[in-house]
C-alpha cells in the first residue's frame, strides 16, 4: 500500500519495475495539448505517478507540442487543471517545444552521419514506396547534399515539398521502420513559439530524444506504440544516447463513452453535447462536474492493474469506487420526481427533525409539515385507497382516495409500511435535476443520454454550498450545482 500525496493508501500495487533503483525512477507523462484530458490520460498519469511514489525519483509533465496544427493554449491549461484536480504534482513541467534547439541539433547530426536524409517525394509516393518496400532516389543522395537540403527546409521549401526521413530499413517487416518521417514543414502558428519554427519533429523522433535527454528511466506508453519501440531504440542507438526502459499498458476507455477526439469533436460541433464538461463525457472536467472524486479514479485505475489487453471498462466499476468515497459524506435529502400532491388530513403541525445521514455523524435538519406533501409520481401511481405508507421520518398515512390523492395521518405505531420521501408543498423548491445515461448505445449516439427533469426538493437544499455531495433518498447520489440545479453522480 503506497501512500500517495493526498495521504490515503491506494489499496493496490502494480508489478515491480524492471531495473528500478530506489530514489532514481524518473517518469514522464507526455500529453499532446490538442484536446481535453480524459480518463485515459488519468490512467497514464496515475501509473507514472504511482511508480515514482513507490521508488522515489522524479515526475515530469511534458507537453508533447510539436504539431502546431492541432494544439491550442486552452488545452495546455485544461491538461494542467485536470492533473491538479487529480492531485498529481510534478517535479518538472516543460514543453517539447522548449527544446527545439536540441531537436534540430540531433536532426542535423542524423543527417551528417547519414542516418537520415531529406526526401522531396510527394506524400503519396512516399506511402506507395513504403508499401512496396522500395527505397526512393532521395535516399541515395550524398550526406553533403542532404545537409544543404536540410538547411533549405528551414527557409526555401514549402510545406510538403521536403521532409527528413530516418534511414531505417525499407525492407523491414515492421512498417514503422520503413524510413519514417522525422521532420516536416508545418506553416501553422504554434500556441507558444508562434512563428519562430516551421520545421517540426514527428512524434517518434521528439519523444525518443526528449525522454533520453530528460533523464527518463522508465517510459510508459499505450500498447499500440509497441511497434514503434524498435524505431525509438534505433534512433537513440544511432545518436549514442541513453535508452530508457520502455513499458506498455492497455488503453482505457469506458463502454459507450469514447475518448477519441475524432468522435467527440463532431458531437460538440453538432451541439449534441454542450461542451467538454458535459457530464456524459469521459473527460476529467465532466467527471469533476458530475461528482466523481479523484481518489475514486485513482483506486479504480490501480484496481485494473497493469494489463495489456485493451480495457473497455463499464462505468459502473468506477461508480462503485466513487460510491464508497462519497457515501459517508453525502447528506440525505428528500426529493420528488414528477412531484404529485398528497393531501393529508390530521397532519401533525410541528416540524420534524430528520437525520442527515443514517449512520455517519452529519447532523440533522428540521423539515416543516404541511397539509399537502409532494411525493414522487411513481409512488403516487402505485397507491390505491386503503393502502398505507410511511412518510419518511414523519408517520403513517392511509390513502383514502386516488385521482386527487388524499390520505389520513394515522400516527406512528405500525411499522413495516413502504417508506416514501416527501416534500412539504408550501416550502418545496423546484430545481432542475440533470440525469445522464450512456452517450453511445450499440455504437450509436443515444438521444436520451441527457435528461433534465424539474423536481421538488426540501428547502434545506438551497442552504447547501455549490458542489456539495448529496444523496436524494431512494434516488441516488448527486452534486449540487449553482443555479437551482443538481447533477446525478450515479445511483
Q: Which residues contact Mg ion by CB under 5 A?
A: 32, 35
Q: Which stretch binds ligand ATP (CB under 6 A): 186-194, 257-265, 428-436, 445-453?
A: 257-265
Q: Which residue lies nearer to ligand ATP by CB, 30 or 82?
A: 30
Query: Which of the residues 172 through 201 are near ligand ATP (CB under 6 A)?
Result: none
Q: For the CA atoms of 433, 439, 441, 442, what is the dihedral angle to 10 degrees?
A: 180
Q: Which residue lies nearer to ligand ATP by CB, 273 or 342?
A: 273
> CB under 5 to 8 A by kind: which of ligand ATP, Mg ion, none does 222 bind?
ligand ATP
Chosen residue from 32, 98, 169, 387 binding ligand ATP by CB under 6 A = 32
Question: Does the protein bind ligand ATP through residue 279 (CB under 6 A)?
Answer: no
Question: Does the protein bind ligand ATP through residue 261 (CB under 6 A)?
Answer: yes
With beta carbons less than 8 A apart as the criterion, state whether 273 and 267 touch.
yes
With beta carbons less than 8 A apart as the criterion, state whether 209 and 231 touch.
no
Q: Which residue lies nearer to Mg ion by CB, 205 or 321?
A: 205
Cell, residue 390: 410511511
Question: Crossing angle for the helix pair 73-86 and 294-304, nearest 10 degrees?
Answer: 80
- What are the Cα distances from residue 147, in Å, to 154, 162, 236, 242? 12, 13, 20, 25
For 8-36, b/e burial (b = at least 16 CB within 10 A) is: eebebebeebeebeeeebbbbbbbbbbbb
Contacts of range 378-387, beta carbons closer than 8 Å, 24 or more positions apart: 378/337, 378/338, 379/340, 379/420, 380/340, 380/342, 380/405, 381/340
C-alpha 119/C-alpha 117 separation (Å) is 6
CB 257, min distance to ligand ATP, A: 11
Question: Does the protein bind ligand ATP through residue 284 (CB under 6 A)?
Answer: no
Q: Which stretch binds ligand ATP (CB under 6 A): 252-260, 354-362, 385-393, 472-480?
A: 252-260
Q: Contact letters (x/-) for ligand ATP, 290-329, by CB under 6 A?
A: ----------------------------------------
Q: Which stretch binds ligand ATP (CB under 6 A): 251-259, 273-281, 383-391, 417-425?
A: 251-259
CB 190, min distance to ligand ATP, A: 17
Chosen residue from 25, 31, 201, 321 binding ligand ATP by CB under 6 A = 31
Please give the full DSSP string across 295-360, using - where no structure is assigned: HHHHHHHHHHTT--SPEEE-HHHHHHHHHHHHHTTPEEE-EEES-EEEEEET--SS-EEEESSSSS
Among 439, 93, 119, 21, smallest CA distance to 258 is for 439
CB 187, min distance to ligand ATP, A: 22
Question: Does the protein bind ligand ATP through residue 206 (CB under 6 A)?
Answer: no
Q: Which residue lies nearer to ligand ATP by CB, 67 or 376?
A: 67
Residue 40: which H helix or E strand, with range?
helix 39-55
**Summary count for the chain: helices (H), strands (E):** 13, 29
Largest Cα–Cα distance of the chain, in whole Å? Answer: 101
C-alpha 367/C-alpha 334 separation (Å) is 10
Q: Which stretch binds ligand ATP (CB under 6 A): 1-9, 16-24, 25-33, 322-330?
A: 25-33
CB 14, min distance to Mg ion, A: 22
Q: How many CA atoms lie within 13 A of 183 on its CB side?
A: 27
Chosen residue from 30, 57, 202, 256 binding ligand ATP by CB under 6 A = 30
C-alpha 138/C-alpha 130 separation (Å) is 13
Q: Which residue lies nearer to ligand ATP by CB, 78 or 119?
A: 78
Question: Does the protein bind ligand ATP through residue 94 (CB under 6 A)?
Answer: no
Cell, residue 317: 466499476
Chosen residue from 221, 272, 398, 438 binding ligand ATP by CB under 6 A = 221
CB 205, min distance to ligand ATP, A: 15
Q: Which residue lies nearer to ligand ATP by CB, 98 or 169?
A: 98
> CB under 5 to 8 A by kind: which of Mg ion, ligand ATP, none does 252 bind?
ligand ATP
Question: Does the protein bind ligand ATP through residue 44 (CB under 6 A)?
Answer: yes
Cell, residue 85: 484536480
Please give the full DSSP string across 256-272, using - where no structure is assigned: TB---HHHHHHHHHTTS
Q: How many CA atoms lie within 13 A of 407 on its CB side?
A: 28
Query: Which of the residues 45 through 64 are near ligand ATP (CB under 6 A)?
Result: 64
Question: Does the protein bind ligand ATP through residue 259 (CB under 6 A)?
Answer: yes
Pairing outcome for strands 331-333 and 469-472:
parallel
Q: For ligand ATP, which residue has the nearest CB?
A: 40
CB 384, min distance to ligand ATP, A: 52
CB 64, min distance to ligand ATP, A: 6
Residues in the site for ligand ATP, rule: CB under 6 A? 30-32, 35, 40-41, 43-44, 64, 221-222, 251-253, 259-261
Amino acid at each position: 500500500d503506497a501512500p500517495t500525496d493526498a495521504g490515503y493508501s491506494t489499496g493496490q500495487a502494480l508489478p515491480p519495475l524492471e531495473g528500478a533503483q530506489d530514489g532514481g525512477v524518473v517518469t514522464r507523462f507526455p500529453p499532446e495539448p490538442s484536446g481535453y484530458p480524459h480518463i485515459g490520460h488519468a490512467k497514464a498519469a496515475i501509473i507514472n505517478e504511482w511508480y515514482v511514489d513507490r521508488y522515489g525519483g522524479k515526475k515530469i509533465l511534458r507537453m508533447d507540442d510539436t504539431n502546431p496544427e492541432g494544439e491550442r493554449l486552452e488545452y495546455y491549461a485544461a491538461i494542467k487543471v485536470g492533473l491538479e484536480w487529480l492531485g498529481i504534482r510534478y517535479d518538472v513541467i516543460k514543453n517539447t517545444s522548449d527544446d527545439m534547439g536540441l531537436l534540430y541539433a540531433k536532426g542535423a547530426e542524423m543527417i551528417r552521419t547519414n542516418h537520415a536524409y531529406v526526401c522531396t517525394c510527394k506524400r503519396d509516393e512516399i506511402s506507395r514506396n513504403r508499401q512496396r518496400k522500395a527505397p526512393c532516389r532521395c535516399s541515395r543522395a550524398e550526406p553533403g547534399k542532404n545537409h544543404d537540403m536540410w538547411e533549405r527546409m528551414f527557409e526555401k521549401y514549402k510545406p510538403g515539398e521536403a521532409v527528413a526521413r530516418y534511414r531505417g530499413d525499407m525492407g523491414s517487416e515492421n512498417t514503422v521502420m520503413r524510413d519514417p518521417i522525422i521532420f516536416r514543414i508545418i506553416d501553422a502558428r504554434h500556441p507558444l513559439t508562434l512563428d519562430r519554427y516551421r520545421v517540426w519533429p514527428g512524434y517518434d523522433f521528439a519523444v525518443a530524444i526528449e525522454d533520453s535527454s530528460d533523464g527518463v528511466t522508465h517510459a510508459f506508453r499505450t500498447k499500440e506504440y509497441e511497434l514503434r519501440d524498435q524505431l525509438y531504440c534505433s534512433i537513440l542507438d544511432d545518436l549514442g544516447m541513453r535508452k530508457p526502459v520502455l513499458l506498455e499498458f492497455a488503453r482505457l476507455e469506458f463502454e459507450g463513452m469514447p475518448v477519441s477526439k475524432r468522435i467527440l469533436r463532431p458531437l460538440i460541433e453538432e451541439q449534441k453535447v454542450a461542451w467538454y464538461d458535459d457530464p456524459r463525457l469521459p473527460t476529467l472536467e465532466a467527471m469533476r462536474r458530475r461528482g466523481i472524486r479523484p481518489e475514486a479514479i485513482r483506486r479504480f485505475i490501480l484496481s485494473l492493474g497493469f494489463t495489456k489487453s485493451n480495457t473497455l471498462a463499464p462505468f459502473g466499476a468506477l461508480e462503485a469506487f466513487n460510491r464508497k468515497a462519497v457515501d459517508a459524506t453525502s447528506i440525505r435529502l428528500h426529493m420528488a420526481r414528477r412531484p404529485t400532491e398528497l393531501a393529508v388530513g390530521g397532519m401533525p403541525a410541528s416540524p420534524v427533525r430528520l437525520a442527515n445521514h443514517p449512520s455517519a455523524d452529519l447532523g440533522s435538519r428540521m423539515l416543516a409539515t404541511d397539509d399537502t406533501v409532494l411525493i414522487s409520481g411513481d409512488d403516487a401511481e402505485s397507491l390505491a385507497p386503503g393502502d398505507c405508507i410511511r412518510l419518511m421520518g414523519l408517520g403513517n398515512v392511509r390513502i383514502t382516495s386516488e385521482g386527487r390523492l388524499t390520505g389520513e395521518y394515522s400516527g406512528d405505531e405500525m411499522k413495516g409500511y413502504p417508506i416514501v420521501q416527501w416534500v412539504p408543498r408550501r416550502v418545496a423548491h423546484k430545481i432542475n435535476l440533470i440525469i445522464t445515461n450512456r452517450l453511445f448505445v450499440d455504437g450509436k449516439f443515444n438521444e436520451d443520454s441527457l435528461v433534465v427533469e424539474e423536481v421538488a426538493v426540501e428547502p434545506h437544499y438551497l442552504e447547501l454550498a455549490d458542489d456539495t455531495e448529496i444523496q436524494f433518498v431512494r434516488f441516488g447520489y448527486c452534486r449540487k450545482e449553482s443555479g437551482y440545479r443538481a447533477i446525478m453522480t450515479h445511483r
